[in-house]
Amino acid sequence: MSPMGMELPRLRSGARLAPWVPLLALPLALAGWELIVREARVPVYLVPAPSRILATLWAERGLYLQATGVTLGEAAAGLALGMGVSLALAIATAFWPPLERAIMPLVLLLKAIPLVAIAPILTIWFGFGPLPKVLMTALLTFYPALVPLMTGLRAVDPAALELLRAWDASEWEIFVHLRWPSARPYAFAALKTAIPLALIGAVVAEWTGASGGLGRAMWLAQTNLDMPRLFAAALILAAVSLAGYTGAALLERRARWWNPEEARL
Amino acid sequence: MLGIRMERVHHTFPAPSGRWVIFEDLNLEVRPGSFTVIVGPSGCGKSTLLRLAAGLLTPTAGRIRIGDLSPAQARAARRIGWMGQQPALLPWRTVEGNIRLALEVNGRALRPPLTVEELIAMVGLKGFERAYPRMLSGGMQQRVALARTLAAGPAVWLMDEPFAALDALTRAQLLEEVERLWRAFGATVLWVTHDLHEAVRLGDEVVVLAGRPARIRARIPLPDPRPRTDERRIGEWVERVRAALMGGAG
């Protein structure tokens, strides 16, 4: 007998594209955009050319850097709050399952309220500072994090659970040795979903009234019909969101290191 | 050594139409240090019987004793070793870590008879201490599960078709090892299987369970000396158990 796992066939879901194909797609799309805007003479107050957007971005890099810092700070704080609360609730329901029935109606109600409608209320209540943005972000990320966390803490191998019970393991031991390690990949999957939402939450809240941040910059640009500035801010948001998502996806894969088939996304 | 005694055990499960009676007035006694094999058609309640003995289920009525203890007490005192059809290894723990888990969980008062290193050597996994379950074959994973079952030195082994998912050759090897380990540990074994060949090779006694509610249809003592390698002799016993299973007197 030998450690056969080393030679396990690597399963792939579908054929894989050569790595340069997606790298080529973005420049091609941008070139097409540039070409169409120039040839059709699209007015800059409708759609600016990518070159114009990048030039704006570069010219006002200090401003954008500062706005990005503000938004990122709010988004991170809100994400931490939203994930923290959902993690605490998920753990609580793992120890005491009836709690789920008690909290779910409230949670669903919170989810059903359109958060775009809440944003102005939060601003009225808490002013133009960071607090309403943090709360908004927490509200937006709370639910998408809660469900996978609750699922993960419950999705344990029933045979392993039975074994631990046969040893008369306490609920705490079951949590430490089985539930939490099983839920870890779910936690990172939740983070992956929540990161882009956190940025949306912060920006939407800034849009309804703020003294800084990317949302504020976008609102200002929009009221002035300054499309290059608006697009520049949107571009930064997209890039940050993508970077955060990719980071979380990598963490999620690492959390599943012991299962190479699952780890390959 | 602890025996197992079941007295007038009655067990039902909720069913769409009232209750589903699994056992009605079941009596079973397993001698301390004996190897008792339970056979029966699938769905007759073999696994339920084992879960009742382990205290994972509480009988609707009746009394179960592991030595002088209730199943719950025996479980709390870590006197029960449990092994199922699935190895149920934690994929994020190494071979060594999985075996050690049996000592970490509810293990304050344990005085393990062997070290983890000795256990690993006993089940033939020396050199694989740091391997993760996914690197191991099904047979090797069950060896880890076996070592984990024995780690805390339980007096009673409750084994629910532990090798049913393995190929014949691996199974034959592991059965030989189980027999050797059982003698070394002097444990009381209650072993569920649907493989009659396995039953007559291992058992001091084969208990034939059948019917609904399940009754003990026959108890067949197997006096042949061990290790039982005479295939002709094993074949004869298999026929006897099969006859009992089909409705004869055994």
In a domain, A2, yes or no: no
- Measure CB to CB from residue A166 to each of B56, B128, B134 and give the nearest one: B56
Helix (H) or strand (E) holding B5: strand B4-14
CA nearest neighbour of B82 among B186, B192, B171: B192
Residues of B in contact with A173 (CB under 8 A): 105-106
Nearest 10 degrees: Cα torsion A99, A184, B116, B87: 80
Residues from chain B contacting residue A183 (CB–CB below 8 Å): none
Q: Which domain holds residue A149?
A: 50-263
What is the rounded distance in angstroms from the CA atom of residue B198 to the CA atom of residue B193? 8
Model pLDDT, residue B110: 82
Can you name the residues that pair with A17 across neighbouring β-strands?
A: none
Average pLDDT estimate for A143-156: 92
Query: Is position A183 within any domain?
Result: yes
Looking at residue A265, its pLDDT comes to 38
- Condensed to tens digits (0 to 9), the pLDDT of residues A91-123 reads 999 999 999 999 999 888 888 888 788 888 888
Burial of A23 (0-12, 13-18, 19+ CB in 10 A): exposed
B89 contacts in chain A (CB < 8 Å): 160
The Cα diameter of chain A in Å comes to 75
| Residue A67, SS3 per DSSP | helix
pLDDT at A261: 56
Q: Among B84, B91, B105, whose Cβ lies nearest the Cβ of A258?
A: B91
Stretch among A2-16, A138-152, B68-82 having the lowest mean pLDDT: A2-16
Pick from B102, B135, B137: which is nearest to A167 by CB?
B102
Of the candidates B104, B106, B139, the beta carbon closest to that of A168 is on B106
The residue among B210, B215, B229 whose CA lies nearest residue B172 is: B229
CA distance A132 to A114: 16
Query: To the nearest whole angstrom, how far is the Cα of B51 from the nearest Cα of chain A?
Result: 9
Check residue A17 and give its pLDDT: 63
Closest-CA distance of chain A to residue B175, Å = 18
Q: Which residues 129-148 of B are in CB contact (within 8 Å) with A?
A: 131-137, 139-140
| Cα gap B217→B38, rounded to integer Å | 11
Q: How far is A105 from chain B (nearest CA, A)?
A: 29
Question: pLDDT band for position A5 (50/70/90)?
Answer: very low
Q: Would you say residue A13 has pLDDT above 60?
A: no
Q: What is the mean pLDDT of residues B129-138?
A: 92
> Measured between CB atoms, does B167 come within 8 Å of chain A?
no
Third-level CATH fold of B4-79+154-246 = Rossmann fold (3.40.50)
Total domain count, chain A: 1
Contact B82 A167 (CB under 8 A): yes
Cross-chain residue pair A162–B56, CB shorter than 8 Å:
yes
Beta carbons of A133 and A76 less than 8 angstroms apart: no
pLDDT of residue A2: 39
Distance CA B194, CA B38 (A): 8
Give residue-wise pLDDT tens across range B166-222: 888 888 888 998 999 999 889 999 999 989 999 999 999 999 999 888 999 999 999
**pLDDT for the residue numbered A251:** 87
Return the DSSP state at A69. H
d(CA A65, CA A44): 24
On whether residue A12 sits in a domain, the answer given is no
Domain spans, chain B: 4-79+154-246, 87-153
Distance in angstroms (rounded) separating the CA atoms of residues A180 and B232:
52
SS3 A115: helix
Nearest to A78 by CA among A90, A89, A86, A88: A86
Say which CATH number the domain at A192 has: 1.10.3720.10
Beta-sheet pairing, B4-14 with B61-66: antiparallel
* pLDDT, tens digit, 9 for 90 and up, residues B56-97: 999 999 999 999 999 999 999 999 999 998 999 999 999 999
Comparing CA positions, the residue from B62, B26, B44 lying closest to residue B209 is: B44
Using a CB–CB cut-off of 8 Å, the residues of A that contact B are 1, 3-6, 8, 157, 159-160, 162-170, 173, 177-178, 181, 258-260
* pLDDT tens figures, B119-132: 999 888 999 999 99
Q: H-helix or E-strand containing A234?
A: helix A227-255
Select the residue of A3, A164, A181 nearest B131 (Cβ to Cβ). Answer: A3
Domain contains A38: no
A107 belongs to a structural domain: yes
Give the residue with greater pLDDT, B117 vs B165. B117
Distance from CA of B86 to the nearest CA of A (A): 7
Is the CB of B82 less than 8 angstroms away from the CB of A173? no
Residue A203 domain-assigned? yes
ipTM for the predicted complex: 0.92
Task: Name every chain B residue with its beta carbon within 8 A of the beta carbon of A258.
Answer: 91-92, 132-134
- Report how far residue A35's alpha carbon sits from residue A49's, in angstroms, rounded to the nearest whole number: 8
Minimum CA–CA partner of B55 in chain A? A166
Record: contact B106-A159, CB cut-off 8 A:
no
Q: What is the DSSP letter of B192?
A: E
**For residue B93, which phi and psi values (nearest 5 degrees)?**
-115, 145
Judged by CB atoms closer than 8 Å, whether chains meet at A177 and B101 is answered as: yes
CB contact under 8 A, B84 and A162: yes
